[in-house]
Chains A and B, each alone.
Chain A
Amino acid sequence: GAVVSQHPSWVICKSGTSVKIECRSLDFQATTMFWYRQFPKQSLMLMATSNEGSKATYEQGVEKDKFLINHASLTLSTLTVTSAHPEDSSFYICSARELVPYEQYFGPGTRLTVT
């Protein structure tokens, strides 16, 4: 089956620093990738949608200058949290979609803690 990896799985950083999270589709080409954020005991909140080679589309209320998304190839998307603050601490999950059959495959998530 289709596999999506995320790296790192867990990161702690100091307030004011930037953190990059990688999302890779290991055995398929992902035309579209999605980034979600999940707070404790809550559902997944879509942050942005990205297509390879084009700018990401951000959901309302998500700061595009703070959450930089790059989808440079059909197998790699990155999310950079710039100037992180404690309120950015969360579980970030990426998802990748094949053109057919329109399923989304999820990565294992990245736990970000900002101190």
Chain B
Amino acid sequence: AQSVTQLDSQVPVFEEAPVELRCNYSSSVSVYLFWYVQYPNQGLQLLLKYLSGSTLVKGINGFEAEFNKSQTSFHLRKPSVHISDTAEYFCAVSSGSGNTPLVFGKGTRLSVIA
């Protein structure tokens, strides 16, 4: 079975400071990894994904994440955050096979402080 752990439920950070949101996963098979962002009362928007290839993945809005197989991690980073980045961020994992759905972490609330 797959699982995702987001180590921080809330992360406050000052505007223009860097941020890292942590995600660890467990899986016995090869995985696909995703980060989604959710703004209040909205659905999920895909930030970036790792399917294969380069372990450093760049996404939208200046975010990037690095897949580390040995540490089973897929941490999300941004070098300089904006007020508009305040939202809930979800890490998710999928084996990509058949009917297996995405398994989500519990989410990390990023609060950017002016």
Interface residues in chain A, defined as those with a beta carbon under 8 Å from any beta carbon in chain B: 6, 32, 34, 41-44, 46, 49, 51, 57, 91, 93, 95, 101-109, 111
Contacts and interface: CB of A to CB of B under 8 A. Distances in A.
A102 B43 contact: no
B84 interface: no
B interface majority secondary structure: loop
Given A49-B99, A102-B32, A102-B96, A107 B43 contact: yes
A111 B43 CA distance: 10
Given A93-B44, A102-B96, A104-B94, A43 B49 contact: no
13 contacts: A34-B102, A41-B109, A43-B105, A44-B44, A44-B90, A101-B51, A102-B94, A103-B32, A103-B49, A106-B36, A108-B43, A109-B42, A109-B43
A93 B102 CA distance: 13
Contact of A46 (B32, B97, B101, B107): B101
Contact of B106 (A32, A42, A102): A42
Interface residues of B, number: 22
Contacts of B90: 43-44
B32 A95 contact: no
B104 interface: yes
Nearest to A111: B41
B89 to A, nearest CB: 11
B37 to A, nearest CB: 11
